Copies of this chain bind each other. A is one copy, B any other.
């Protein structure tokens, strides 16, 4: 049960694409993997041979149980490294993806377990995405677009829907990060902007685009 970097990258991409669509198409995979459709077909045959996917020609792919299990292990490694890079090595969240893409392919049982322990068994990565535990189990928490939440209710930032430096820059400037408590004061019909209050700071206005990218949960305590 040892897979190449290429195989792992395909499995991971199928996993992520599956979140939005039931079955994943050849073209879609080719696009996210930055490769040619013909190459995707070749690899899908290989993954079928290795019994990681359901695949019939012209009918798209889907992970089977083994594929899902593998995908969760890869995602686990990726997100643990992201957490490490941000919290231990003080990277910005926008700098970690590329490195984590490399680190995630190092398959050494003890390395990942010790890393997990060292980090204190974190359940969410720096973008608010859940880190699968050793068994592949994902912690759940609400991740609702701030843009469509009720007004005057206390909300808490749980995740971001984008990992770009530009978003990080903007949110940092507004003192918004994971865990920040927010209340919507009013919205503007003109462009969908929101006026919001952040904990004990003075209120600010954010664009509709930002509000759609910031994901929140209904805050427990008032």
Specify which chain B residues have a CB less than 8 angstroms from the CB of A110 in the assembled complex: 91, 95, 99
CB of A102 within 8 A of CB of B106, answer yes
Q: Assuming A103-B106, A106-B103, is B89 touching A115 (CB within 8 A)?
A: yes
Q: Tell whether A219 is near chain B: CB-to-CB under 8 Å.
A: no
Q: Tell whether A57 is near chain B: CB-to-CB under 8 Å.
A: no
Specify which chain B residues have a CB less than 8 angstroms from the CB of A36 in the assembled complex: none
How far, in angstroms, from A15 to B108 measured CA to CA in the complex? 26
Q: Tell whether A98 is near chain B: CB-to-CB under 8 Å.
A: yes
How far, in angstroms, from A102 to B103 measured CA to CA in the complex? 9
Q: Tell whether A114 is near chain B: CB-to-CB under 8 Å.
A: yes
CB of A102 within 8 A of CB of B91, answer no
Specify which chain B residues have a CB less than 8 angstroms from the CB of A199 in the assembled complex: none
Q: How far is the CB of A3 from chain B (nearest CB, A)?
A: 14
Among B99, B106, B108, B115, the residue within 8 A (CB) of A111 is: B99
Q: Tell whether A188 is near chain B: CB-to-CB under 8 Å.
A: no
Q: Main SS of the interface on chain A?
A: helix
How far, in angstroms, from A23 to B91 measured CA to CA in the complex? 42
Specify which chain B residues have a CB less than 8 angstroms from the CB of A201 in the assembled complex: none
Among B99, B106, B111, the residue within 8 A (CB) of A89 is: B111
Chain A, 96-114, contact with B by CB distance < 8 Å: what is the 0/1 string? 0011001100101011001
Complex: chain B residue closest to A98, CB-CB? B108
Q: Tell whether A64 is near chain B: CB-to-CB under 8 Å.
A: no
CB of B114 within 8 A of CB of A90, answer yes
Q: Tell whether A88 is near chain B: CB-to-CB under 8 Å.
A: yes
How far, in angstroms, from A106 to B105 measured CA to CA in the complex? 10
Q: Tell whether A118 is near chain B: CB-to-CB under 8 Å.
A: yes
**Contacts from A to B (Cβ < 8 Å):** 85, 88-91, 95, 98-99, 102-103, 106, 108, 110-111, 114-115, 118
11 A–B contacts from the bound complex (CB under 8 Å): A85-B114, A89-B118, A90-B114, A91-B114, A95-B110, A98-B108, A99-B106, A99-B108, A99-B110, A99-B111, A102-B108
In order of increasing CB-CB distance, the 9 nearest A-B pairs are A89-B114, A102-B106, A99-B108, A99-B111, A89-B118, A88-B118, A103-B106, A89-B115, A90-B114
